[in-house]
């Protein structure tokens, strides 16, 4: 049976988080837009972001200070022009979110004036984090989602997996849409589009322990790579230092804002330890904090470390961190009286598909925005609360560029139907499950917070074996969600390890015991695609 269902649109947006929905809203007044969501519209990393969004609203703060903090956190690998561009656009983009109704927390000063409450997180020298209590991502997602659901030009395709990007037969540098898998009907369809944007988020599901939702399987990075796009800095995967350690607390993040408000990391007996690792103590950037926790756990043979904010008043804790308070209470942990058990977990992909400041990739008419993209903003380590900011800033930049080029002629071609005539339903789902668990386990053990060359080489040998098995499986059986995600994750794993093997130093999120030094004149790691 071959696919015969085809959809057409001006803009296909693959992904429904802050980046994808912002782009959709900026285009929809003039474009017919399709937004593709692998699960429900709200299920993505944006929804779970707790801390907030960095922007200069305080008169004592400055854009230059935001830039310098980001450059410092990025450990010498940020593109200064990308950082300056993002920081300079931050306030305007936040005002756009406020206009849509995102309920950022406010406070009243001594003169009775109302202003936005700004918090501080690791790496920031000033209070500049706009937030909606400790559920900022949920507030952003909910606000944007309501707007797209009410717009007549935006068509929402929920429970659809993108399989591969489509390139024009005679003009292979042109992207003309994508093959997609309708999970409800269990068949493959074609979406033909004048412009396509990847807003698929990161790839932290490649690791056994992650703060990310299940949909974060590197789909956009893998599809772009298969289509010929270049990727950069894939070795830099940020491990959030504080995920709740509890058997019933899957993926629950303990926001860095707790440390911004005075929480400190400690051993089980309450002894602080961050001062031994960095002068900034508990407000050091995430890579330093994650390695410190990892080191202390291994040194002591402990299952976790602890984060203590119980010295603050109960009213303060419950007001500022209601989500974390309720979650911990449901598990028998009263954070107003006792410390929170925490462990590091894979959290954010600092590398991705290479783009310019308009979100353009190597393929014409193909854009990448948000965590899927490498813009130069994050360098070797992402500073807290710059990620949702990047989503909105570059989504709006991409929208402006697309609209400026909206009169570009459409490329017409007959797109081959998806041919399933030579495949059958799988009778060995256990193979996918086994490979899935094997991949995520050895990536955690060999390509995690601390690496060695031997571990990386060992991981690559296993990746090559998995790739052959998955290729054979993909060629013989009909697609499924697990198969498509596994295919993408093993591609991302290869890109991560290839980049890690190229970096002969330790910097930011990449720490190799064989190369503990930091080199002079560092360069980004680029894997060139072949469009």
| pLDDT band, very low/low/confident/very high, at 38 (cuts 50, 70, 90) | very high
**Contact by Cβ (8 Å): 174, 192:** no
Q: How many domains does one find in the chain?
A: 3
Determine the structural domain holding residue 39 and report its residue range: 6-52+136-235+350-404
- pLDDT of 365 > 50? The answer is yes
DSSP state of 274: G
Q: Out of 192, 194, 286, 462, which one is annotated catalytic?
A: 286
Query: Running DSSP on this structure, what letter comes out for residue 351?
Result: -
Query: Looking at the domain assignment, is residue 119 inside a domain?
Result: no
Checking if the pLDDT of 496 tops 90, the result is yes
Q: What is the CATH number of the domain that holds 245?
A: 3.90.700.10
Does position 425 have pLDDT exceeding 90, yes or no?
A: no
Question: Tens of pLDDT along 49-68?
Answer: 888 999 999 999 999 999 99
Tokens representing residue 153 in the block:
């030009």
Structure tokens at 81: 């022009």
Judge whether residue 411 has pLDDT over 80: no
Same domain for 45 and 148, yes or no, is yes
pLDDT digits (tens, 9 = 90+) for 120-145: 887 899 999 999 988 899 999 999 99
Query: What does the pLDDT average to over 209-236?
Result: 95
pLDDT at 421: 57
Query: Which residues on neighbouring strands pair with residue 507, listed in sequence order?
Result: 510
Report whether pLDDT(3) > 60.
Answer: no
Whether residues 496 and 469 fall in one domain: yes
At residue 413, the pLDDT reads: 65
Examine the domain organization and report whether 299 and 328 are in the same domain: yes
Same domain for 23 and 172, yes or no, is yes
In a domain, 414, yes or no: no
- 249/282 same-domain check: yes
Over its C-alpha atoms, the chain yields an Rg (Å, rounded) of 22
- Domain contains 444: yes
Are 208 and 316 part of one and the same domain?
no
Residue 261 CA to residue 344 CA, distance in Å, equals 20
Does one domain contain both 39 and 147? yes
Average pLDDT of span 395-404: 98
277 Cβ contact list (under 8 Å, min separation 6) = 284, 288, 289, 291, 292, 295
Could you give phi then psi for residue 339, rounded to 5 degrees? -75, 160
355 and 485 part of one domain: no
pLDDT for 420 beyond 90: no
Which of 167, 169, 168, 162 has the alpha carbon at shortest distance from 188?
162
My answer on whether 314 and 397 are in the same domain is no
| Residue 224, domain member (yes or no) | yes
Percent of the chain with pLDDT over 70: 96
Question: For residue 193, how far is the Cα from the chain centroid?
Answer: 25
183 and 315 belong to one structural domain:
no
Q: Are residues 244 and 201 in the same domain?
A: no
Q: What is the CATH number of the domain that holds 475?
A: 1.20.58.100
Q: What is the pLDDT of residues 260-315, one digit of tens each?
A: 899 999 999 999 999 999 999 999 988 889 989 988 988 998 989 999 999 999 99
Q: Is 487 helix (H, G, I), strand (E, B) or coil?
A: helix
Is the pTM higher than 0.85? yes
Domain presence at residue 122: no
Q: What is the pLDDT of residue 1?
A: 43
Closest CA to 208 of 162, 248, 250: 250
In a domain, 58, yes or no: no
Is residue 93 one of the residues assigned to a domain?
no
Q: What is the mean pLDDT of the chain?
A: 93
Question: How much of the chain, in percent, has pLDDT values that exceed 90?
Answer: 78
The arithmetic mean of pLDDT across residues 78-98, rounded, is 98
Determine whether 498 is an active site residue. Answer: no
Tell me which of 298, 317, 346 is where a domain ends: 346
Quick one: which of 217, 157, 149, 137 has its CA closest to 11?
A: 157
């Amino acid at each position: 049976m071959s696919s015969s269902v085809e959809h057409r649109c001006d803009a296909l947006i693959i992904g429904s988080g802050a980046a994808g929905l912002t782009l959709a809203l900026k285009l929809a007044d003039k474009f017919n837009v399709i937004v593709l969501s692998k699960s429900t519209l709200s299920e993505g990393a944006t929804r779970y972001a707790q801390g907030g969004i960095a922007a200069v609203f305080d008169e004592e703060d400055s854009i230059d200070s935001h830039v310098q903090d980001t450059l410092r956190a990025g450990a010498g690998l940020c593109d200064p022009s990308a950082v300056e561009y993002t920081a300079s656009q931050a306030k305007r983009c936040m005002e756009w979110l406020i206009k849509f109704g995102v309920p950022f927390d406010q406070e009243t000063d001594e003169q009775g004036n109302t202003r936005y409450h700004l918090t501080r997180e690791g790496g920031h020298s000033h209070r500049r984090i706009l937030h909606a209590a400790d559920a900022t991502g949920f507030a952003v997602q909910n606000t944007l989602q309501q707007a797209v659901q009410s717009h007549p030009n935006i068509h929402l395709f929920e429970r659809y997996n993108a399989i591969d990007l489509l390139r024009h037969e005679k003009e292979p540098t042109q992207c003309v849409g994508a093959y997609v898998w309708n999970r409800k009907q269990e068949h493959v369809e074609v979406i033909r589009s004048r412009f396509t944007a990847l807003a698929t988020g990161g790839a932290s599901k490649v690791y056994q322990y992650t703060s990310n939702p299940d949909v974060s399987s590197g789909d956009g990075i893998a599809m772009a790579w298969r289509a010929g796009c270049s990727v950069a800095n894939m070795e830099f995967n940020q491990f959030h230092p504080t995920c709740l350690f509890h058997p019933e607390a899957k993926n629950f993040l303990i926001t860095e804002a707790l440390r911004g408000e005075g929480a400190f990391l400690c051993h089980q007996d309450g002894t602080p330890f961050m001062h031994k690792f960095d002068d900034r103590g508990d407000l050091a950037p995430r890579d330093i904090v994650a390695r410190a926790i990892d080191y202390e756990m291994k040194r002591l043979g402990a299952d976790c470390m602890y984060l203590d904010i119980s010295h603050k008043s109960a009213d303060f804790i419950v007001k500022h961190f209601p989500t974390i308070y309720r979650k911990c209470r449901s598990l028998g942990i009263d954070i107003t009286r006792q410390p929170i058990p925490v462990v590091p977990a894979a959290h954010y992909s600092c590398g991705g598909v290479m783009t310019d400041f308009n979100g353009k990739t190597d393929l014409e008419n193909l854009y990448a925005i948000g965590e899927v993209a490498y813009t130069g903003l994050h360098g070797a380590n992402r500073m807290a609360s710059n990620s949702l900011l990047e989503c909105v800033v570059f989504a709006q930049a991409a929208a402006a560029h697309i609209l400026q080029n909206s009169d570009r002629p459409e490329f017409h071609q007959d797109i081959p139907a998806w041919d399933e005539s030579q495949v059958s339903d799988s009778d060995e789902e256990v193979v996918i499950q086994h490979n899935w668990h094997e991949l995520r386990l050895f990536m955690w053990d060999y390509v995690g917070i601390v690496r060695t060359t031997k571990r990386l080489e060992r991981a690559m040998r296993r990746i090559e074996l998995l790739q052959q098995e998955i290729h054979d499986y993909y060629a013989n059986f009909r697609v499924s969600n697990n198969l498509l995600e596994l295919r993408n994750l093993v591609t991302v794993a290869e890109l991560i390890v290839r980049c890690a093997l190229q970096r002969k130093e330790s910097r930011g999120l990449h720490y190799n015991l064989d190369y503990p030094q930091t080199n002079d004149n560092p360069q980004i790691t680029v894997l060139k695609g072949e469009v």
